[in-house]
Copies of this chain bind each other. A is one copy, B any other.
Amino acid sequence: MRDIAREVGMEAASLYNHISSKQLLLKELLLEIAQLFTEGMKVINSQDLPSFEKLAALIRLHVDITVSHTDAISLLPSEWVHLEEPSLQAFIKLKDAYEKEFKAIITLAMKEGQLKELDPELTLFSILSTLRWLYSWYSKYSSKDIDRLKEGLIVSLLHGIKT
């Protein structure tokens, strides 16, 4: 809390005029981001798209959220375990639901012959790992290149890199 206070130019105690606890601060940051993904998934799933295109849209969603919320999203992979109940359960619920829907799209795409018939779990894991680590890396792309990054990821993650 003293680090945060220094960063915003006040004393640690003064933070408590704005936020009631450190734990609540973490919760608000993480659940806000989780909501963004949940809503993005909802929008994409409501559209009448081929499942392969839904996967491409999900990749673009991750890039967009990463670019617009880089700081908060850098906490997501490692810090959510420090949430306390009931926030922890709420977060896990959103996370599990998101991954379940993501996997359902992958499975459907495989059934429809748009993807190779591989292990859907491994495929999900492989795509999500890359998208979750984006924040630590995307800064090498200028804001103008974000679209190129999106399409590059779609090729890498979906079409494959082998000739």
| Interface residues in chain A, defined as those with a beta carbon under 8 Å from any beta carbon in chain B | 52, 77-78, 113-116, 118-119, 121-123, 125-126, 129-130, 132-133, 137, 140, 149, 152-153, 155-163
CB-based contact A115/B157 at 8 Å: no
CB-based contact B157/A159 at 8 Å: no
Assembly stoichiometry (copies): 2
CB-based contact A130/B126 at 8 Å: yes
A115 — nearest CB in chain B belongs to which residue?
B161
A137 — nearest CB in chain B belongs to which residue?
B125
Q: CA–CA, A130 to B127, complex, Å? A: 8
Interface centre among A119, A121, A161 (most CB of B within 10 A): A161
Cross-chain contact of A163 among B114, B126, B149, B163 (Cβ < 8 A): B114
Cross-chain contact of A158 among B118, B140, B162 (Cβ < 8 A): B162
A159 — nearest CB in chain B belongs to which residue?
B162
Q: CA–CA, A36 to B43, complex, Å? A: 44
Cross-chain contact of A123 among B77, B78, B156 (Cβ < 8 A): B156
Which 10 residue pairs of A and B lie closest in terms of their CB atoms, listed nearest first? A160-B160, A129-B133, A129-B130, A126-B156, A78-B78, A126-B130, A122-B152, A159-B162, A129-B129, A115-B161
CB-based contact B158/A119 at 8 Å: no
A161 touching B129 in the complex, CB below 8 Å, given contacts A116-B155, A155-B116: no
CB-based contact A160/B159 at 8 Å: yes
CB-based contact B125/A161 at 8 Å: no
Q: Which residues of chain B come closer than 8 Å to A123, judged between CB atoms?
A: 156, 161
